[in-house]
Amino acid sequence: MTPGAQARTLALPENASAHGHRIDALMASSHLLEAVLAAVMLGWLVLAVGRFRRAPPTAVDGGTRRSRLWVMGLAVVAVGVVDGTLFVRSLGYLDEVLWNFSTPVNHPDTVRLELNAHQWAWEARYAGEDGRFGTADDVVTWNDVRVPVGVPVWVQLVSSDVVHGFALPNFRVKLDAVPGRVNQTWFQAAREGVWEVACYQHCGTSHYKMRGELTVLSPRGYAAWLREASRQAAQAYDAADTAAHWGWAWRDAP
Ligand SMILES: [Cu+2]
């Protein structure tokens, strides 16, 4: 199957990330609560129609203080339960995963990745064999992001023209690429495979073409690829080619 292709169903794209199930569970619980709420409201409507079909309600049946309190109370409870659950569980996800950069900071094998979004492609930069950005052996790829399975991938993202949206649908990752700032996120692949890198902000006439491949390799396969790509990059390095030197010094404290 080509990346991004999937059977036409209403289901979410297949989850290939170590934390994507938390987003899926959040959406599933929200949908369940909304379905319950919709069923209650529709049931209530049907009951009211049945009850008042022959004898329309009089002013005495509604508009009283008691009925207003009932309606207000139910509305507050419904919003509190549905949105409150979503809010609290979202905070948990942010604290434990999305904003928890201690995981990529502390993991010895974390892959650091600089991404440059531009009309209409994704450029990725790896530090290369020397582990430092901005040196001759930096590996730069075009619409071709490669990461190892099972380790954190720490992304720092910029845009060199307009606002783009970095999206890994199979990893439940979305991050704005904004000119003039470095945004950060991290994710971890749960298994090997080839997945889609998409742009989720309309960014110009060829926005629809702005897609790449995310290839998740075995740790050994990744190390072998990076070693060889880094060697070739060092050989092909041209100090005068300033357009190729768009990287930045890694920012360790997000
Ligand atoms: Cu774009």
Q: Measured in angstroms, how far is the CA atom of residue 163 from the centroid of ligand 1?
A: 7
* pLDDT over 90 (residue 122): yes
How far apart CA 248 and CA 245 sit, in angstroms, is 9
Give me the pLDDT at residue 62, please. 66
Other CB atoms within 10 A of residue 222 CB: 20
* pLDDT over 90 (residue 118): yes
Q: Measured in angstroms, how far is the CA atom of residue 199 from the centroid of ligand 1?
A: 5
* pLDDT over 90 (residue 113): yes
Q: Which of 53-67, 130-144, 238-252 has the lowest mean pLDDT?
A: 53-67
Q: Measured in angstroms, how far is the CA atom of residue 168 from the centroid of ligand 1?
A: 13
How far apart CA 147 and CA 154 sit, in angstroms, is 10
Give me the pLDDT at residue 63, please. 74
Q: In 99-151, which ranges are E strands?
A: 111-118, 121-126, 139-142, 144-148
Residues 203-227 have a mean pLDDT of: 96
Give me the pLDDT at residue 4, please. 47
Q: Cα 122 to the chain's mean position, in Å? A: 16
Q: Cα 117 to the chain's mean position, in Å? A: 15
- DSSP letter, residue 12: P
Q: Measured in angstroms, how far is the CA atom of residue 206 from the centroid of ligand 1?
A: 8
- Which class would CATH give 109-244? mainly beta
Q: Measured in angstroms, how far is the CA atom of residue 159 from the centroid of ligand 1?
A: 9
> pLDDT digits over 35-52, tens only?
999 999 999 899 988 888
> pLDDT digits over 10-24, tens only?
788 999 999 999 999
Residue 59 pLDDT class (50, 70, 90 cuts): low
> pLDDT digits over 128-152, tens only?
988 899 998 999 999 999 999 999 9
Give me the pLDDT at residue 227, please. 95
Q: Measured in angstroms, how far is the CA atom of residue 64 from the centroid of ligand 1?
A: 55
State whether residue 213 is helix, strand or coil: strand
Q: What does pLDDT average to over the chain?
A: 90
CB under 8 Å to 207, separation ≥6 — which residues? 120, 199, 201
Q: Measured in angstroms, how far is the CA atom of residue 140 from the centroid of ligand 1?
A: 19
Q: Which helix (H) or strand (E) holds 156?
A: strand 152-159
CA-nearest of 189, 196, 162, 195 to 176 is 162
Q: Measured in angstroms, how far is the CA atom of residue 67 from the centroid of ligand 1?
A: 51
Q: Which helix (H) or strand (E) holds 70?
A: helix 65-93
**Domain boundaries defined on the chain:** 20-98, 109-244
Residue 226 pLDDT class (50, 70, 90 cuts): very high
How far apart CA 51 and CA 71 sit, in angstroms, is 18
Between 237 and 125, the higher pLDDT residue:
125
Residue 5 pLDDT class (50, 70, 90 cuts): low
Rounded to 5 degrees, what angle do the CA atoms 87, 89, 95 make? 100
